[in-house]
């Protein structure tokens, strides 16, 4: 599956495409299928997302460690985590 | 400390105004991100893994208390209550909002600071010896020279679009505390027959192709310093490789054409540049130098220290260094508590350091390339009070230059270029060696970690270096031994196959055991490694 991520233009915070908007939490992200490019074009133009890109995912979680850290927040600052329960390392 | 004149302040203020307009246009959709990105980068604003990151320049790592308080204020008001001091003697904030950035920069400008030239292919913040003006071994204070270079390089039109970024270090002692030879241009002030001048080393650097800068000139008279520097840059600007980003640094040019040919071209260019009259008149240089006049030292030269508190005594031995003025000392504040994050300090800690500097160090602080803070001028009679005040803020770790005084880049916890996390590895190693007696028994051991080959964490220069790599989507760590960023400069060598996070901690521990078995009197880890070679270490580390 394909997730869409980017940053909020004003705050810079990481956001994920939920199907009808953007959420800071990856748990709300939906599979964009083959619509990623076209959704991002519309959303970028409307400035609802910045520096967006398409992410490979399995079971709602990004495959690559970099996007899992993006979804989790810094792993060394529990107080600043978005979701500390996300497993960073693949089993 | 240097004080902005009207030109400096007007330039910085105008830049903030300009950026405010650019941000407004971006937020209103009048310019695209592709158009805006180079503009925000010129003002130090990156987009990182989690948010916008702002890099603030701290010229040659020198700050006054008011500026330090401002850094705390920014951490509190615009960020999440902390900042990260970097190996380039700067500070980075990890959670800046685009819409608030112009206000932040306005506040920064009010204390003569900015984020200009902290990104892009220009001359970056000039770094220097954190003990400048205080060290007993310096031939002159390097800061007026660094300041001169700062003024010369700020908005220098010819060098605002170089083939690649460009980093200077200026030192003035034989002991190299600034990794000078690992900069694009390293300048060492020296005296020859009583006359002040500079040795030039050009083409050092880290990154994917680490190189030690060769000596290009053994003596450039002080009055020619800017002309000679300009000639070095001109040759690079003309011939540096713009076709390939990975070959664009000056180190590649110097390496490809050879130091002799590069030197010849610089000399030729210098002969021409010298006719242009760009070196400042002596009066201007003296004006700058006056700002760095020594403070009004007055302490009792033979103050006796009460070493009866053992924790205080250890801190004195580890973190306090001799000062050129009798009765004074240089205090190092470690930003490496065992469970902490290298180089991070909370707003409260930053404020506390500013207060302590105001009261006990003539209002001055320094940032070091090892991500620590220095109070350059503390009277010996005040050392106990300073230590107590630092201890109240968890800033009195007595681990300077020991194995837990680890340089670590932000790595995959913050950086979008990273392959692997750096901070958790640093934390595990520090924890493993938590016992201070054990650390002190191991002595000076510089451990440096980067989360990718860009080498922001100076791993090439670590006695032990750790480099994070991506092995099929899994974090993996390569070990290098034998690097040094000091006057015995060298680039570390990879010892063998990489490790996972716990594996690398174990490997480091095994290496220290080999060192303990093999060391001779007075040898540091690095010395033993250089004497016996890598084989005994490999044997212990990779033994099945
Ligand atoms: C988080 C955002 C950062 C980005 C995007 C970044 C990017 C880079 C890149 C691309 C290089 C390689 C340049 C080259 O070889 O041409 C580099 C080198 C370097 N960076 Fe960073 N870096 C970041 C953070 C830091 C931090 C936090 C520090 C200090 C702790 C730092 C200090 C350095 C140093 C010392 C070098 C190597 C020296 C050299 O240029 O040869 N950087 N950085
Ligand atoms: S070394 Fe790599 S991971 Fe570390 S801060 Fe630099 S670019 Fe990021």
For B423-467, the pLDDT digits (tens) are 999 999 999 999 999 999 999 999 999 999 999 999 999 999 999
In a domain? residue B229: yes
Tokens of B89: 């003697």
Report the distance separating Cα A29 and Cα A91, nearest Å.
22
In a domain? residue B398: no
Write the CATH number for B536: 3.30.413.10
Question: Tell me, what's the pLDDT at B304?
Answer: 83
In a domain? residue B302: no
In a domain? residue B118: no
Torsion of CA A71, A75, A81, A83, to 10 degrees: 50
Same-domain check for residues B229 and B339:
no
Give the closest-approach CA distance of B76 to chain A in angstroms. 14
Tokens of B508: 């480091």
In order of B67, B109, B156, the CA distances from B12 in angstroms are: 15, 7, 14
Q: How many CB atoms lie within 10 A of CB B544?
A: 2
Same-domain check for residues B99 and B131:
no
Q: Distance of alpha carbon B208 from its chain centroid, rounded?
A: 18
User: Which residue out of B24, B49, B75 would a mutagenesis test of the A interface target, given it has the greatest number of A Cβ atoms within 10 Å?
Assistant: B49
In a domain? residue B318: yes
Map residue A11 onto helix, strand or coil: coil
The domain containing residue B86 runs over which residues? 6-109
**CB-based contact A31:A5 (threshold 8 Å):** no
Same-domain check for residues B242 and B315:
no
**CB-based contact B460:B206 (threshold 8 Å):** yes
Distance from Cα B416 to the centre of ligand 2, integer Å: 8
Write the CATH number for B63: 3.90.480.20
Same-domain check for residues B136 and B281:
yes
Question: Tell me, what's the pLDDT at A90?
Answer: 62
* Least confident piece of the model among B49-58, B234-243, B310-319: B234-243
What kind and span of H or E run contains B64? strand B62-64
Write the CATH number for B358: 3.30.70.3340
**pTM (2 decimals)?**
0.95
In a domain? residue B252: yes
Same-domain check for residues B25 and B88:
yes
Report the distance separating Cα B121 and Cα B249, nearest Å.
10
Map residue A28 onto helix, strand or coil: helix
A10, A73, A80 member nearest B97 (Cβ)? A10
In a domain? residue B18: yes
**CB-based contact B89:B368 (threshold 8 Å):** yes
Average pLDDT on B339-364 reads 98
Name the residue in chain B with its Cα closest to that of A71.
B50
The pLDDT of residue B301 is above 80? no
**CB-based contact B65:B111 (threshold 8 Å):** no
Same-domain check for residues B387 and B314:
yes
A41 and B CB contact within 8 Å = no
Q: Where are the beta strands (DSSP E) in B292-397?
A: 320-322, 328-333, 344-346, 364-367, 373-379
Name the residue in chain A with its Cα closest to that of B421.
A75
Same-domain check for residues B132 and B256:
yes
Low-confidence residues in chain A, pLDDT < 50: 91
Average pLDDT on B69-83 reads 98
Report the distance separating Cα B128 and Cα B143, nearest Å.
7
- State the ligand closest to the CA atom of A69: 2
Map residue B189 onto helix, strand or coil: strand
Same-domain check for residues B281 and B426:
no
Same-domain check for residues B87 and B131:
no
Same-domain check for residues B135 and B275:
yes
Same-domain check for residues B37 and B150:
no
Q: At CA B64, angle to CA B60 and CA B65, rounded to 5? A: 140
pLDDT tens for each residue of B20-70: 999 999 999 999 999 999 999 999 999 999 999 999 999 999 999 999 999
B51, B95, B412 member nearest A69 (Cβ)? B412
Q: Where are the beta strands (DSSP E) in A1-91?
A: 2-7, 14-17, 22-23, 50-58, 61-62
- B437: Cβ contacts below 8 Å, ≥ 6 apart: none
What kind and span of H or E run contains B515? helix B501-518
End-to-end Cα, chain B, rounded Å: 57
| Predicted complex ipTM | 0.96
Looking at the structure of chain B, the number of domains it has is 4
Map residue B397 onto helix, strand or coil: coil
Q: Is the dihedral of CA B80, B86, B91, B95 positive or negative?
A: negative
Which ligand 1 atom is at minimum distance from the Cα of B414? 1
- A16: Cβ contacts below 8 Å, ≥ 6 apart: A3, A4, A5, A22, A23, A24, A25, A26, A28, A29, A71
Same-domain check for residues B152 and B272:
yes
Domain boundary among B343, B368, B392: B392
Distance from Cα B283 to the centre of ligand 2, integer Å: 42
In a domain? residue B295: no
Map residue B235 onto helix, strand or coil: helix
Nearest partner of B533 among B499, B493, B491, B497, judged by Cα:
B493
Of all residues in chain B, the percent with pLDDT exceeding 70 is 100
pLDDT tens for each residue of A2-16: 999 999 999 999 999
B94, B427, B473 member nearest A90 (Cβ)? B473
């Amino acid at each position: 599956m394909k997730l869409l991520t980017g940053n909020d233009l004003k705050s810079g915070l990481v956001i994920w495409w939920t199907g009808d908007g953007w959420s800071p939490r990856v748990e709300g992200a939906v599979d964009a299928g083959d619509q990623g490019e076209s959704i991002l074009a519309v959303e970028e133009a409307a400035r609802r997302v910045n520096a967006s890109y398409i992410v490979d995912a399995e079971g709602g979680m990004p495959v690559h460690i970099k996007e899992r850290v993006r979804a989790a927040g810094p792993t060394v600052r529990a107080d600043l985590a978005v979701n500390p329960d996300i497993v960073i390392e693949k089993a | 400390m240097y004080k902005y004149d009207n030109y400096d302040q007007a330039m910085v203020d105008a830049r903030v105004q300009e950026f405010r307009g650019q941000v407004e246009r971006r937020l209103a959709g009048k310019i695209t991100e592709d158009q805006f990105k180079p503009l925000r980068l010129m003002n130090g604003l990156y987009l990182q893994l989690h948010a916008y990151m702002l890099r603030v320049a701290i010229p040659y790592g020198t700050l006054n208390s008011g500026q330090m308080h401002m850094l705390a204020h920014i951490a509190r008001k615009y960020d999440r209550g902390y900042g990260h001091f970097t190996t380039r003697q700067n500070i980075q904030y990890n959670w800046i909002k685009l819409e608030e950035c112009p206000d932040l920069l306005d506040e920064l400008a009010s204390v003569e600071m900015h984020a200009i030239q902290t990104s892009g292919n220009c001359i970056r913040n000039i770094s220097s010896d954190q003990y400048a003006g205080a060290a007993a071994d310096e031939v002159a204070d390097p800061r007026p020279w660094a300041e001169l270079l700062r003024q010369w390089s700020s908005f220098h039109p010819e060098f605002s679009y170089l083939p690649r970024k460009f980093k200077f270090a200026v030192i003035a002692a034989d002991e190299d505390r600034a990794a000078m030879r690992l900069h694009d241009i390293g300048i060492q002030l020296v005296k020859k027959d009583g006359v002040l001048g500079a040795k030039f080393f050009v083409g050092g650097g880290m990154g994917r192709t680490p190189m030690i800068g060769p000596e290009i000139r053994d003596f450039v008279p002080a009055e020619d310093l800017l002309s000679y520097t300009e000639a070095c840059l001109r040759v690079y600007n003309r011939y540096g490789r713009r076709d390939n980003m990975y070959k664009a640094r000056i180190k590649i040019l110097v390496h490809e054409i050879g130091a002799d040919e590069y030197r010849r071209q610089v000399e030729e260019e210098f002969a021409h540049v010298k006719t242009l009259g760009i070196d400042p008149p002596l009066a201007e240089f003296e004006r700058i130098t006056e700002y760095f006049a020594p403070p009004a030292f007055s302490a009792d030269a033979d103050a006796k220290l009460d070493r009866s508190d053992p924790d205080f005594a250890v801190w004195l031995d580890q973190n306090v260094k001799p000062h050129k003025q009798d009765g004074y000392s240089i205090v190092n504040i470690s930003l490496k508590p065992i469970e902490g994050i290298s180089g991070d300090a909370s707003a409260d800690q930053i404020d506390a350091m500013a207060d302590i500097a105001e009261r006990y160090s003539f209002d001055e602080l320094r940032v070091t390339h090892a991500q620590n803070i220095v109070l350059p001028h503390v009277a010996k009679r005040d050392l106990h009070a300073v230590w107590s005040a630092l201890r109240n803020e968890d800033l009195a770790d007595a681990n300077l230059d020991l194995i837990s005084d680890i340089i670590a880049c932000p790595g995959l916890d913050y950086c979008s270029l990273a392959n692997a996390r750096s901070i958790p590895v640093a934390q595990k190693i520090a924890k493993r060696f938590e016992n201070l007696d054990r650390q002190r028994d191991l002595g000076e051991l510089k451990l440096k970690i980067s989360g990718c080959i860009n080498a922001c964490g100076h791993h090439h220069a670590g006695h032990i270096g750790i480099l994070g790599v991506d092995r099929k989507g899994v974090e993996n760590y390569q070990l290098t031994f034998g690097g040094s960023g000091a006057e015995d400069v060298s680039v570390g060598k990879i010892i063998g196959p990489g490790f996972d996070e716990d594996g690398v901690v174990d490997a480091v521990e095994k290496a220290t055991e080999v060192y303990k078995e093999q060391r001779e009197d007075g040898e540091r880890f690095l010395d033993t490694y250089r004497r016996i070679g890598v084989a005994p270490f490999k044997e212990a580390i990779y033994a099945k």
